[in-house]
Structure 1
Amino acid sequence: MDNTQSNFDVVIAGAGPVGLFLACELRLAGLSVLVLEQANDPHSPLKKLPFGMRGLSAPTIEAFYRRGMLDEITAPQRANEQSGGENAPAAHWMQQSRRPGGHFAGIQFFHDKIDMKKWPYRLPGPAGTNLATTMEHVESVLAARATAMGLEIRRGLGINDFEQSEEGVSIRAGGETVHGRWLVGCDGGRSTVRKVGAFNFVGTDPEFTGYSVQVEMVDPDQLAPGRHYTPTGMYTYQKPGTIAMVDFDGGAFHRTRPITLEHVQTVLRRVSGTEVTLTALPLATTWTDRAFQAMAYRNGRVLLAGDAAHTHSPLGGQGLNLGLGDAMNLGWKLAATIRGDAPVGLLDSYSAERHPVGAQVLDWSRAQVAIMRPSRSSRALETIFRDIIETTDGATYFAERVWGMRLRYDLGATHPLVGSSAPDFELADGTRLGEHLRYGKGVLLDFNIGSPPSQYLGLFNSRIKYIASDVTDQLGLSAVLVRPDGLVAWVSDAVPSYEEFGQAVSRWFGS
């Protein structure tokens, strides 16, 4: 650190997807940002296929689209599908007679049962409802964007300690000290920032140890492919040797002993009820269903996002989406606070909006564990859930939850669009709303093609973009105010006065 800058607007702990996305958001606002990452090497076999596969939800896909990164995120999928490669997400579901849309505790729901008319404010556009990719690819895209934006990422340098004052945070990392006006912990489930910052972290202890392993076996046909619930646990098997399994041991084995071939074979035999013999263990990791959440995401000038704020099992693949949603919500609010033009309480709305979302995901994870338990009552619940998920209403409900279609913040308004993701309106010039959100500003859409009074022009030019245009489908609206994170802050279905415009804008962007 000797010859580099030591004072920053924001220091971020953690160069995973959440930390990198947040850093890009802050750089978009012109702030100086330092990212500190404990690991020297960002690459890991666990970030690649098969264990690195992640499903992106609608809010995450929209976030990448609104920041101009969606083409890069989807590039490998397009290339694979064009070539017919076996790693293409389509290659897996095309082997089935129906296209799965996701699952709940391994119980699949299918596209042919989902009623898309349940979401009348969602307009067709480039951002889809769900997408499969890998953790490695998401990180590489974000790291490339961060580098292009001039971000400083220092690897092999984790935070040891910090002290905060009214002016900022003094951070000790690797024997050196850096200063940030703000510190954000995106440093994972065992977050140092959370621990040093004395955040209250509460939740439920684990019921099982989960294993994700690649193995070589004497007889690969001894295990049946697919997901199987047994009297002693659950396992999934994909030939030739990819296995995930859960052992209801109260999480006793996780990170307590080395993961050996002999141990994995013992657990697999017990869970599967077979005498399978393993000959090699190229890759193995463990995880649990521990579900904890910080009571608040801010303590003075220190904030938390991603797994540092909430940790839960990887069941259903909600963790990455939840963390990126934190980053998208926090970035513009923290930037406005640092610039000094944020309205009172804007930064506090980060925790107020995101904490309930995190709590819902933790409960979603716990509910899946309840069905996975090796008991007769859980098997009875599974049968009922399978019946429900095969109905149109059931499949649509699960799609809403898994795809993130139900996301809506309580912003104190009754209109169903307020607090929800903005429809991707197609404007008269052929552009779409999402394209106008790429620079991190809010957007005020005026479908009456008016002209704002001069007293509003300065506000519009500096903090939000005013667009007077007709659109292909107005959805019965006359004007829409969209926050920089793509959420609807205010709508009017009648021709509003500019005083109403001003009040709506001032609430979110200051006067």
Structure 2
Amino acid sequence: MRHTDVLVVGAGPTGLFLAAELALSGVGVRVVERLEEPDPTIKAGSVNVASAEILDRRGLLPAAESVQRRLLASAGTFAREGAEREDGQLDGLERAYRRFPVVGHFAGMLFRDDLVDQDDPALAAHTAVANGVLVPQRDLEALLAEHCARLGVEIRRGVEVRGLRGTGADRTGGADDTGVVVETSEGDMTAAWLVAADGGRSVIRKQLGVAFDGTDPQMVGYQAIADFADASGLKRGWTWTPRGVYSYGPVPGRILVARFAPQPADRNAPVTLEELQRVVREVTGTDVTLTGLRGRATRWSDNARQARTYRHGRVLLAGDAAHVHSPFSGQGLNLGLGDAVNLGWKLAATVQGRAPDGLLDTYESERRPVAAWVLNWTRAQVALLRGDEQTAQLRSLVRDELLTVPGAMNRVVALSSGIMQRYDVAEEPVPPVGSVAGDVELASGGRLADHAHDGRFVLVDRSPDGRFGAVVRPWEDRIACVSDPAADASLPSLLVRPDGVVVWAATEDAATVDADARTRLDAALRRWAGAREACPSAPGR
């Protein structure tokens, strides 16, 4: 039997990024994927700011920016072919250099760039990734596969998982040293730990009997890139009708259509051209003719569920295996990347025997509330999409009254972007402790993200005498220490976890120059980085 430290099931964005995080820490990891080739089905069309910042911290922002440039070149031409420009979204992206990228929608109501205050501190701290958010899921998967290849991660495609054995995956939730035996179409594989990132219909979650609580679907949606005989009858952007909602563009031929209807008898059946055309005509009220599909069309629903537990012994759930919901705003992709970056370093520390007590448990305690919030965020959008007159009036109120208020637009954009996530990481959290670091520019040049590429903690020591760097020295194998004395005493020194979360901060004033700041730093290190004793460094460090 082939053995590895961690076996990841699923080569979507969640599984690929998680595997890369483990490899960065020197953990042996293998990825197995049921599909022979990357899924060509059209899915999320972009990542949010929080996800782009995850890529930035691992040195992948230039690749994301390259994808966005290509996509804008295509989508911009298509959008300008129309007489109407209802959203202004592409213009905003094209000029988004060091501005907060205003991309997305709430229930089809597009975010308006002109109503967003770029001086809002909550947004201004997250502008470095402005040119790297328009990355479709298929391009992201290719980008992450290349990242994994550079790190030496083994990805085996065409491997079907058929079952689990071993006490490491027993129903009691306990864990021992025997690990997990995974039955696959290529024979048995063993791993000390198993991560199920195998999607909303996770074979592993079902076999373990983990409850998947939530709400049943009310909507059936379709998305595809299609060829049309004549698409002049379709409006660009989002359009509500009495029969549902549809969106045409901005990528040439992209059509999304959804209606409130019973689920098909066979949800796994491929979407045919005839089925898609029938639904498009029904919802749009036009006689548009589809002449072909580019790649596969996808069918989806607003099924919203969350696993009752994210851990079962030595088996962990991540991404859609842990939570599903409607795809509006592409939140599933971003939620999965957030799971991966949160879990990766914690699982690596556990595998290597240097994790502080309870570290791995914080994966679920931190990520479950975020997923629950996203499920409610998507449920609210579905509720606003109904075609009845009462819902239309409510939608008009939200669109024309609430979302025309600059402060309200700022808040909705910030929430959708993922930058408002907060974790309970300290007994007495003082901002920015518990939040994602965002853009931290250094007086010496560069940014904090430049020092996070290898997946370690980062300490930005802005004290004039390097006192905080001295505190972290016993942890130097797992912390990148950046000495950055600042002329502005209001700029705090920071300790940032590998997932970008600030777990300690101290400004250079009378309240923090004494031993208290060093004591709090030592406590944060013990809680999150483990004991002082050095551990073997990862390869290449």
Matches within 5 A, 1:191-270: 191-217=202-228, 219-238=230-249, 241-252=253-264, 255=267, 259-270=271-282
Distance in structure 2 (CA, Å) of the matches to 1:449 and 1:270: 68
Secondary structure of the structure 1 residue equivalent to 2:434: coil
Match of 1:409 among 420, 423, 447: 423
| Cα separation, partners in 2 of 1:137 and 1:6, compared to 1, 3 Å | same
Tell me how far apart the structure 2 counterparts of residues 274 and 454 of structure 1 sit (CA, whole Å).
66
Deviation at 1:212, TM superposition (A): 1.7
Pair 1:126 & 2:128 matched: yes
Aligned pair partner of 2:308 in 284, 292, 295: 295
Whether the 8 Å contact between 1:20 and 1:143 is mirrored in structure 2 is yes
Contact 1:53 1:132 in 2 (8 A): no
Supply the distance in 1 between the matched residues of 2:16 and 2:57 (Cα, whole angstroms): 16
CA distance in structure 1 between the partners assigned to 2:367 and 2:81 by the alignment: 33
Whether the 8 Å contact between 1:57 and 1:129 is mirrored in structure 2 is no
Structure 2 counterpart SS, 1:221: coil
Verify: 1:428 aligned to 2:430, yes or no: no
Matched ranges for 1:344-359 at <5 A = 344-359=357-372
Deviates more, 1:172-181 or 1:320-329: 172-181
Mapping of residues 35-434 of structure 1, within 5 Å: 35-44=31-40, 46=41, 51-52=42-43, 54-78=45-69, 84-86=73-75, 95=85, 98=88, 99=92, 101-120=103-122, 122-123=124-125, 126-128=128-130, 131-165=133-167, 166-167=176-177, 168-217=179-228, 219-238=230-249, 241-252=253-264, 255=267, 259-280=271-292, 283-386=296-399, 387-411=401-425, 412-434=427-449
Q: More strand per residue: 1 or 2?
A: 1
1:278 Cα shift? 4.6
Q: Deviations over 1:164-196 (max 9, x none)?
A: 421211111115111111000111111112112
- Shift of the 228–89 alpha-carbon distance from structure 1 to 2, 3 Å rule, reads closer
What amino acid sits opposite 2:513 in the alignment?
V
Moved more, 301-310 or 130-139: 130-139
Change in 2 beyond 3 A, CA 1:472/1:200: farther
Unpaired stretches in structure 2, ≥5 consecutive residues = 93-101, 168-175, 532-541
State the alpha-carbon separation in 1 of the partners of residues 224 and 205 from structure 2.
30
- State the Cα distance separating 1:372 from its structure 2 match: 0.6
Confirm or deny that 1:505 pairs with 2:525: yes
SS at 2:384 equivalent: helix
- Aligned partners of 1:247 and 1:271 also within 8 Å: yes
What amino acid is the match of 1:428? A
> What amino acid sits opposite 1:346 in the alignment?
L
Partner of 1:18: 14
The answer to whether the 8 A contact 1:85-1:91 is kept is: no
Structure 1 alignment gaps of length 5 or more: none
CA RMSD after TM alignment: 2.8
Q: Aligned equivalents of 2:500 and 2:78: distance in 1? A: 27
Q: Contact between 1:293 and 1:359, CA under 8 Å: does it hold in 2? A: yes
Conserved 8 A contact 1:212-1:284: yes
From 470, 475, 497, the equivalent of 1:460 is 475
Tell me if the contact between 1:450 and 1:468 (Cα under 8 Å) persists in the aligned partners: no
Match of 2:534 in 1: none
Q: Please state whether the residue corresponding to 1:209 is helix, strand or coil.
A: strand
Question: In 2 relative to 1, CA 362–88 (structure 1 residues): closer, same or farther, beyond 3 Å?
Answer: farther
Task: Give the CA deviation at 1:325.
Answer: 0.6
Residue range with higher mean Cα deviation, 258-267 or 488-497:
258-267
* Other structure's SS at 2:103 match: strand
Pick closer, same or farther for the CA change 1:233–1:150 going to 2, 3 Å: same
Provide the C-alpha distance between the structure 1 equivalents of 2:480 and 2:117, rounded to a whole number of angstroms.
Answer: 34
Q: Aligned equivalents of 1:89 and 1:479: distance in 2?
A: 47
Moved more, 113-122 or 330-339: 113-122
Identical counterparts, % of pairs = 39
